[in-house]
A and B are shown apart, each in its own frame.
Chain A
Amino acid sequence: MSDEPQDRRVDRRSFLARMGALGAAAALGTPFAASGSGHFDRTGLRGSSPEGAREFWQGVRRTLPASVDSPAELTASEAAVLIREGTLDPVELVEACLDRIGRWDDRYLAFNTVLAEEARASARALNSEGDDAGLLRGIPLAVKDNYYTEGVLTTANSHIFRDFRPEWDAEAVRRLRSAGGIVIGKTQMGPLATTRALTPDGKITTVNAWTPANPSVSPGGSSSGSATAVAARMASSSIGTQTGGSITVPALAQGLTGLKPTMGRVSLRGVIPLTYSRDHPGPIARDARDAALLLQVMAGPDPADPRTLGLPPVPDYLTAATPRGDQEDEPIRWPTRLGVLPGWADGDDPAASGRRAFLREMEAAGVRMVEVTPSEQWDELSSSLMNAVRLPERTEPFLEYLREDVRLFGVSLNSWMQGLFLSADEYLKGQRARHALLASTLDEIFGHCDAVVQTGHVPFDMIGLPLLALPTGHRPTEDGPRPHGILLGAPPFGEERLLSIAAAWQTRTEHHRVRPPVLDELREARLLPPAGASRGRLSAEDVAERSQ
Chain B
Amino acid sequence: MAPVVQIQNIHKVYDSGEVPVHAVRGVSLDIQKGEFVALMGASGSGKSTLMNLLGCLDRPTKGVYKLDGIDVAQLDKNELADLRNQKLGFVFQGFNLLARTTALENVELPMLYGRHRRVSGSAIRERAMHCLDMVGLTDRADHFPNQLSGGQQQRVAIARGLVNEPQVLLADEPTGNLDSRTSIEVMGVFQQLNDLGITIVMVTHELDIARYCKRNLILRDGVVVRDEPTEFRLNAAEERLKMGEAEVAAKLTAAPFA
Please say whether chains A and B are actual partners in one complex. Answer: no
